[in-house]
Structure 1
């Protein structure tokens, strides 16, 4: 406590006749208050560390497994992959025929959580760095973790005879690293070109539509899973698509027949196209309110 030394100093200041030999005790240096360690951004706290996110993700994985096991009891006529030229306004789907059943998932923040680079970027306060991410794709095996319930989900689908496929925008040049990462996370074997499709496999770039078409030509895809709308159709990711129109597409009557009925979306508050939204996109002007 610093009250006693302060009182002594005030007393001495008011007593000019105090004997010279009387000295005050030295004031100990104040101890600086401990500095609280910086915390991760709220979005990372929620997704990677909260029980709320764990419960939500596990529940989504359970719904996927239940849906898949039930769906194959009666062979569907069509897959859940949009046919070439089809739109969300007039959806049409790739036919199934007698093709084997498959479930197609994004990898990052859908099958696995990328704890390594997400912490690195946050602690360093840097934006996404392609060079760092390239290293992660090559060497991240054993450092990424399966999302809650994903191991149980893929095991149930495989046990039911449903092929599990990953369609991700990881680089085709790092295929071995991605195969190793998925295996080390406990998700089993994925083979590039067969059950693992990557950016660079075709001329489509980051669009997954061409890869989805390739997969649908071989399989009856009954499940699509991802954390971004582009994991379902590139129509959601058209450049300069207004936020209101993107919202309308995702919440249209046609889309409502697909969500949780073949299309399954995982929560991801960490990154996505929605990061570009402005105040008026998220908060309609006619709903503004100010306290009096």
Structure 2
């Protein structure tokens, strides 16, 4: 009865290049350690630069003319994304890589519930978290993992050596408000309790949802690298490498390569012209 099950595709000979880089290379590890050490220096040595302002954009502000939530007398905190920021999801990405399968939210939900012992801390993250807590700075996590799996996520953080996180206090997740995967609502909740003096993530959305509203690849790149936002990188906002998935992986040839910066090998051009 029924047909035979479809054959399982053979595993590739090697992981995709982006996976090799993020999870296997010394270069990505060094970039991560570099970012975490810079963050600790900014927070512990410089006390976050201007203690009167947080690094959370105020409601109604823009990327072109940013304003920031005032700190008042709230205690200092740092806010971190989880996945591919403080945790590397080795088990899940291994499964995805050998299957050659696209992202599956149901499989990801099962991963959250069963993969806590198959993660590792991102290089440099444990030392950074420990140094921040020793300096009296509260570490808060703001992740798009599901609120329904909060206990499993907290367990994964502990297993990786990143200490305790309490849901609703130092752990905020998708489903905690009506914003879905948007993080600004959760950032506002955190900023109402703490003076957020640094944030770290692997996607621009880990710093502001305003980036998601930018229509083109070129405009998004310009918004991150020019104007007043550019001054925040390394001075309150800290980005970790992630070439494997997420909002960075967009754009065709016309988006990535400006027409006035394209080059063709003269030998190839000459051969093509000669063949006509």
Q: TM-score, normalised by structure 2?
A: 0.90
Matched residue, 1:76:
51
1:150-165 equivalence runs, <5 A = 150-165=125-140
Matched residue, 2:240:
266
Matched residue, 1:7:
none
Matched residue, 1:12:
none
Gaps of at least 5 residues in structure 1 are 1-35
Matched residue, 2:218:
244
What is the distance in 1 between the residues matched to 2:97 and 2:48? 45
What is the distance in 2 between the residues matched to 1:200 and 1:254? 32
Equivalent residue of 1:166, what SS? strand
Q: 2:253 aligns with which of 274, 279, 283?
A: 279
How far off its partner does 1:71 sit? 3.0
Greater mean alpha carbon deviation, residues 157-166 or residues 278-287: 278-287
Is the aligned partner of 1:187 residue 2:162?
A: yes
Is the aligned partner of 1:222 residue 2:222?
A: no
Q: 1:215 to 1:50 in 2, by over 3 A?
A: same
How far off its partner does 1:74 sit? 7.3
How far off its partner does 1:65 sit? 1.0
Query: RMSD value over aligned CA atoms?
Result: 1.6
Gaps of at least 5 residues in structure 2 are 1-10, 267-276
Matched residue, 1:10:
none
> Number of matched residues?
257
How far off its partner does 1:90 sit? 1.1
What is the distance in 1 between the residues matched to 2:114 and 2:171? 18
Q: 1:103 aligns with which of 55, 74, 78?
A: 78
What is the distance in 2 between the residues matched to 1:74 and 1:265? 18
- Once the two structures are superposed, what CA deviation does each residue of 1:210-231 show, in whole Å capped at 9, x if it has no partner? 0000000000000010000000
Matched residue, 1:204:
179
Contact kept? 1:71, 1:222, Cα under 8 Å? no
Matched residue, 2:210:
235
Matched residue, 1:170:
145
What is the distance in 2 between the residues matched to 1:282 and 1:102? 37
Q: Runs (4+) of structure 1 moved beyond 2 Å?
A: 71-75
What is the distance in 2 between the residues matched to 1:253 and 1:192? 36
Q: 1:51 aligns with which of 12, 26, 46?
A: 26
Is the aligned partner of 1:290 residue 2:264?
A: yes
What is the distance in 2 between the residues matched to 1:226 and 1:236? 14
Greater mean alpha carbon deviation, residues 66-75 or residues 260-269: 66-75
What is the distance in 1 between the residues matched to 2:49 and 2:31? 28
Q: Which of the pair has the greater relative contact order for Cα pairs under 8 Å at 6+ separation? A: 2
Is the aligned partner of 1:255 residue 2:217?
A: no
What is the distance in 1 between the residues matched to 2:48 and 2:223? 31
Matched residue, 1:32:
none
Q: 1:73 to 1:94 in 2, by over 3 A?
A: closer
Equivalent residue of 1:207, what SS? coil
Matched residue, 2:6:
none
